[in-house]
Amino acid sequence: MLIKLNYIIIFSLIAVLLSWILYPVYIRILKKLKVGKTIREETATWEKSVIFTQLHKHKSWTPTMWWWMFLIIMLIMIWLSFALKEYWLIKNTLLNQKETYIILFWFFSMGLIWLVDDFLNVKWHSAIKWLSAKTKLIGMCLFSAFISRWFFSKLGIDYINLWPIAGKVYLWLFYPIITFFVTISIVNAINITDGLDWLAWWLTSMVLFVLAILTFLNQTYIATTVLAILIAVLIAFMFFNINPAKIFMWDSGAFALWWFLASLLYLLNMRIWIFIPFIVLFWLFIIEVWSSALQIFWKKRFKRKLFPMSPLHHLFEHKGIPETTIVMKAWMIQWLLAAITLIAIFYQINTIGAQ
């Protein structure tokens, strides 16, 4: 196990070093090509987002498309793993059918698909509107259905673990239906939380860090290495994303990352009782998505807003709380949720091991 941990640390350190070297070059290239972000104009109910535009208009034309950076670094790391295996320094490459094929497939395929939206949103396509919220929702539904069908039909998974409320619960044909809504919820929750510099990405990194520990405890070391590389690239990204941000992730990277997280959750569900602890770990995102859902419901039902702004972090921002204060407090809460989740998982493992 110690040797495996050493490899994971080495690969993640190499990924961090590559990121620090390549990010400044990548940002300069994006600026030269004028590949920048434009501020969205639509709310979740497809109305003009006047308040949001006023609060964040200073971020217009910041370089975007982080996904390409992760693609480049991940391809380099995969090549490195093949080279090291060739010289008998490691036994397995980062491409492994049981551990990494699915999560890497979803990450790269989702990233490529959502590049369409990114290309429509850069300055040199400013005459064309990017994909509408309705179009994105349809896309999310189609891909979520595909993920659910993949795990149900291809891998034969038809159960979830609901410890400590219940044990393994077999859902049969209801499994793809439930996981479809779970995937949609995860993607929308993180997407809604992504509104302030460092907010969604730090919280997501903490979630991925906890899941990396769980994959390591589950002895799926190759998946842990891929997660460690992803976290390393994310940490480097957040350094350049500090307010005022020099680069944004935008949809190609964001949606790819969120589908990566969802597929990883289902893979862990095959081996660990993860769903209830994951709800605890994901609690901030759940609050964010519910604040937005309540706002939409209130506007549809009562023809007026429940909050001046939604989701919750924009409401705090609207009330005059500085962006950095909101983000820092969210980090502190996420650290606590991560600790609770890990304690619960360790207790679960020790309890099962003692039986």
Q: Per-residue pLDDT averaged across 306-323, rounded?
A: 87
Nearest-CA neighbor of 285 among 316, 251, 258, 250? Answer: 258
Q: List the single range of 40-54, 121-135, 212-226 with lowest mean pLDDT.
A: 40-54
Please report where in the chains the tokens 């380099």 appear, as a residue: 76
pLDDT, the chain, mean: 80
Which of 207-211, 214-218, 317-321 shows the highest mean pLDDT? 207-211
HSE of 205 in the Cβ direction (CA atoms, 13 Å)? Answer: 18
Contact 317, 326 (CB under 8 A): yes
Cβ(224)–Cβ(212) below 8 Å: yes
Amino acid code (one letter) for 80: L
What's the longest Cα–Cα distance across the chain?
68
pLDDT value of position 13: 93
Nearest residue to 157 (alpha-carbon basis) of 142, 175, 140: 175
All structural domains of the chain with their residue ranges = 2-354
**Token pair listed for 176:** 């793809």
**Is the CB of residue 259 less than 8 Å from the CB of residue 106?**
yes
State the pTM of this model: 0.82
Could you report the per-residue pLDDT of 28-82, keeping only the tens digit for each? 887 777 665 555 545 544 455 555 455 445 455 566 666 778 888 988 999 999 9
Q: CB under 8 Å to 314, separation ≥6 — which residues?
A: 51, 52, 55, 195
Each residue of 329-343: pLDDT tens digit? 999 999 999 999 999
Q: Which of 118, 121, 166 lies closest to 273, judged by CA?
A: 166
- DSSP single-letter state for residue 153: I
Backbone angles phi, psi at 63, to 5 degrees: -55, 145
Please, which residues have CB within 8 angstroms of residue 178's CB and are 6 or more apart in sequence?
Answer: 160, 171
Between 24-38, 120-134, 165-179, 245-259, the lowest mean confidence (pLDDT) is in 120-134
Q: Are 36 and 123 in contact (CB under 8 A)?
A: yes
Residues 157-175: pLDDT tens digits?
888 888 778 778 898 889 9
61 or 225, greater pLDDT: 225
Instruction: Give the list of residues 6+ apart from residue 111 with CB closer than 8 angstroms, or none.
Output: 67, 71, 252, 253, 255, 256
Percent of the chain with pLDDT over 90: 21
Do the Cβ atoms of 266 and 151 come closer than 8 Å?
yes
Residue 231 near residue 12, CB atoms below 8 Å? yes
